[in-house]
Chain A
Amino acid sequence: MTVTRPATTATISGLAPREGATVELVNVVKDYAGHRALTGVNLSMAPGEFISLLGPSGCGKTTVLRALSGLESISDGRIMIDGKDVAHQPVNKRDIGMVFQAYSLFPHLTVQQNVEFGLRMRKVDAASRRTRAQEALDMVGLGHLGERYAHQLSGGQQQRVALARALVTRPRVLLLDEPLSALDAKVRVQLRDEIRRIQTDLGITTLFVTHDQEEALAVSDRVAVMRDGNIEQVGTPEDLYTQPATSFVATFVGLSNPVAAELSGDTVTVLGIPLPLLGTGPRDGAVTAYIRPEDIALASPDAVGAGIPATVVVSSFLGSLRRTQVRLDDGTLLFVQHDVLVRPATGDRVTLELAGRPVAVSVRE
């Protein structure tokens, strides 16, 4: 996959854009004592690509990142960076930059010294170290805080410094292990956009681990959804949302309503309404169809004609939209997303219309 980026805005000499590396994980297996954490992970990253690993806790996403960094050894498979197998290379020889979930600045060093650390390890002379560290700090907007210590910074500032520290050596690959999870919501959004901007400017191949789907969808070129030690689907955020490959992806990425349906050829009959099947489905028969809340509409109360009768359970105001949970007469609960100006009350009788087709269909269990 080729990633196109806007013209760079970086004017920093030490951090000038560099051709990102290709990364390839081939059948990567990781066994812990009696437990297989990764069951043969395959993933290819194009130069300069930003991929997020998304999945629930314990799905193995951090293990993939740590295996790529060298902090975890792998039991089987290959890890290729720029075509070279680095699976047996120690972490300090892999030329990667990493930002951790926990605050990882060295407490005994100033911000400037923290950022210089990687350059010092590479035996860069003192004058260049100072210049490059200052440039990296300027890049994350903290050029004026070089003399401070970690405990004198906020969480967001610490993670910015950690980002500058990871990037100052111009690594081939940047690994981000849930770096935003300890931050409050506003700082989180600001920093995530900033990470994306800097990544785009520098053109560095980046793997971002997160359990926050909004974060993953917002910043990534592609997202890899993981489950039980394997990747379920890799695709652009739009693909994952509109064409989830599995029921797990359909329910994990975005909100989906699982509804009992009947599949016959290319037609799925949902709540008595025939809809076209998206992609390929299982064998004909009883299936579960997954429908997005925005694909169900609340019909106008005075509308006449066929509709699906339901009773409002609860309605929540979400700022730019409103999400209402309704109960069908057969007891099925559904989420419906609609305009904020429509304010159904609990117990109201409403009529639903299916405005879109199911995003996924699976065999009913």
Chain B
Amino acid sequence: MISSNATAELIDPAAVAATTPSPGPIRVSRARFAAEPSNLTRRVILIVVGVVFLVPILAMIEFSLRVGQPVKNVQTYGFAHYLAVFDPANNQAYANLFQGIANSLGICAITVAIVLVLLLPTMIFVELKFPRLRRVLEFICIIPITIPSIVLVVGFVPVYSVVAQIVGSYPWTMAFAVGIIVLPYAYRPIAANLAAVEVVVLSEAGRSLGAGWGQVLLRVILPNLRRGILASCFITVAVVLGEYTIASFLSQNTFQTALLLVQHTDPYVAVIFAVLALVFAFVLLLLIGRLGSLRRGGTRLSRRSA
């Protein structure tokens, strides 16, 4: 990663001088040693990064809008493939895909529940009662990111053969494996939020005011961890929707495996759903960013004082 100072040094002083209204050596030296890149540099970086991301997405959208073959090198565009997806006549053809989506959403729900019911209370408990175990918990939660999915799956397969014998082979059982995969991603936002809030002092204040542990959790701790919890859940959903290896090796029909299958018969539909999944993930990330930048009460005060 290039530091902001290093980026500033890459700027040609002459170019900066030309783009800034006030000439002179002072302006040039400011640009060279400024703590953050100039507006021009920022825009250039934004445009380059935007192009890198947008070109494949635009290509996918362009591809999904194609109707028929080009006639004399002229391609016709329309929403025929989009309409076909939701046409009741094609229900049978896409049943597997829709079932895969339903399965994935079910896995998402169970995985989020695992995060909320298991990980979150554990983290709060460790923070309040056993702060010395914080590092241990962090280490445990980070382990899955250091092991490639394929290696994990090799371990999961024999476990799941037993699981299948006991409860049957259902897609939702995958949620427990995925729950392990998402640990590093789910842990981080909650940990960051916990570090930013004086959980111990706030809970002691709550208890001294007559609140029991349940009320302290619901009325004091959780509202202050809202951002971390939401970000954790959204990232969990995004990771679950992107997980292919486990579903494939455990022979389960999920959105990802169904997408791969449908690609062989109808590439347009596969691309349409890939675009929709990207948009969904993009919206989730936007929501996280929005929640992260919201400062409670700040807006109201600035409005009042304005």
A residues in contact (CB < 8 Å) with B: 69-71, 90-92, 95-98, 100, 102-108, 110, 117-118, 121-122, 147-149, 151-152, 162, 165-166, 169, 175
A92 and B202 contacting across the interface, CB-CB below 8 Å = no
Interface residues of B, Cβ cutoff 8 Å to A: 197-198, 201-202, 204-212, 215, 219-220, 223-224, 226, 295-298, 300-301
Distance in Å: Cβ of A52 to nearest Cβ of chain B: 19
Contact A121 B211 (CB under 8 A): yes
Shortest Cβ distance from B302 into chain A, in angstroms? Answer: 10
Complex Cα distance, B206 from A169, in Å, reads: 13
Bound together, the chains give a CA A92 to CA B210 distance in angstroms of 4
Is the CB–CB distance between A121 and B224 below 8 Å? no
List 27 A-B pairs, Cβ < 8 Å. A71-B207, A71-B208, A90-B212, A92-B209, A92-B210, A92-B212, A100-B204, A104-B198, A104-B202, A104-B204, A105-B205, A106-B224, A107-B296, A108-B223, A121-B210, A121-B211, A121-B215, A149-B297, A149-B301, A151-B295, A151-B297, A151-B298, A152-B297, A152-B301, A166-B208, A166-B209, A175-B208
A residues in contact with B300, CB < 8 Å: 147
Known contacts A107-B197, A148-B301: A100-B205 contact under CB 8 Å: yes
- Taking a contact as CB atoms under 8 Å apart, the answer to whether A100 and B301 are in contact is no
User: What separation, in Å, do the CA atoms of A24 and B204 have in the docked complex?
Assistant: 23
Could you tell me the distance between the alpha carbons of A341 and B219 in the complex, rounded to whole angstroms?
Answer: 61
Q: Is the CB of A91 within 8 A of B208?
A: yes
Q: Is the CB of A98 within 8 A of B205?
A: yes
B207→A91 contact, CB < 8 A: yes
CA distance A199 to B197 in the complex (A): 30
CB proximity of B138 to chain A, nearest CB, Å:
23
The 7 closest A-B pairs by CB, nearest first: A149-B297, A118-B209, A121-B210, A104-B205, A98-B208, A108-B223, A91-B207
Chain A, residue nearest B200 (CB): A102
Specify which chain A residues have a CB less than 8 angstroms from the CB of B208 in the assembled complex: 69, 71, 91-92, 96-98, 166, 175
Query: B209's contact among A70, A117, A148, A152, by CB below 8 Å, is which?
Result: A117
Taking chain B's interface residues, is the majority helix, strand, or loop, or is none over half, making it mixed? helix
Q: How far is the CB of A54 from chain B (nearest CB, A)?
A: 22
Cα distance A362–B202 in the bound complex, in angstroms: 45
Q: How far is the CA of A175 from the CA of B208 in the complex (A)?
A: 10
Across the interface, which residues of A come within 8 angstroms of B211, CB to CB? Answer: 92, 117, 121
Please name the residue on chain A nearest to B205 by beta carbon: A104
In the bound assembly, the distance between CA atoms of A95 and B206 in angstroms comes to 12
Contact A102:B209 (CB < 8 A) given known A107-B224, A108-B223, A148-B301 = no
In the complex, what residues of A have CB within 8 A of residue B223's CB? 106, 108
A162–B198 Cα distance when bound, in Å, is: 15
Tell me the nearest residue of chain A to B226, going by C-beta. Answer: A108
CB contacts (< 8 Å) of A149 on chain B: these are: 296-298, 301
CA distance in complex: A38, B207 (Å) = 23
A169 touches B210 (CB 8 A): yes
**B202 and A110 contact, CB distance less than 8 A:** no
Question: Which residues on the B side are within 8 Å of A100 (C-beta)?
Answer: 201, 204-205
**Minimum C-beta distance from A1 to chain B (A):** 26
Q: How far is the CA of A175 from the CA of B205 in the complex (A)?
A: 12
Query: In the complex, which residues of chain B have a beta carbon less than 8 angstroms from the beta carbon of A70?
Result: 207
A51–B296 alpha-carbon span in the complex (Å):
39
| Interface core residue of A70, A91, A152 (most chain B CB under 10 Å) | A91
Whole-angstrom CA separation of A70 from B198 in the bound complex:
19
User: What are the residues of chain A within 8 A of B204 when measuring CB–CB?
Assistant: 71, 91, 98, 100, 104
Q: Give min CB distance, B296 to chain A, whole Å.
A: 6
Closest to A152 in B: B301
When distances are taken between beta carbons in the complex, the residues of chain A under 8 Å from B206 are: 106, 117
Whether the pair A102, B198 counts as a contact (CB closer than 8 A) is yes
Q: Which residue of the partner chain A has the closest CB to B225?
A: A108
For B296, the chain A residues whose CB sits under 8 A away are 107-108, 149
- Nearest residue (CB) in B for A110 is B297
Q: How far is the CA of A96 from the CA of B223 in the complex (A)?
A: 25
Chain B residue numbers with a CB within 8 Å of A121 are 209-211, 215
Q: How close is A152's CB to chain B, nearest CB, in angstroms?
A: 6
Q: Cβ of A162: which chain B residues have Cβ within 8 Å of it?
A: 205
Q: If A71-B204, A100-B204 touch, does A169 touch B209 (CB 8 Å cutoff)?
A: yes
The distance from the CB of A55 to the nearest CB of chain B, in whole angstroms, is 21
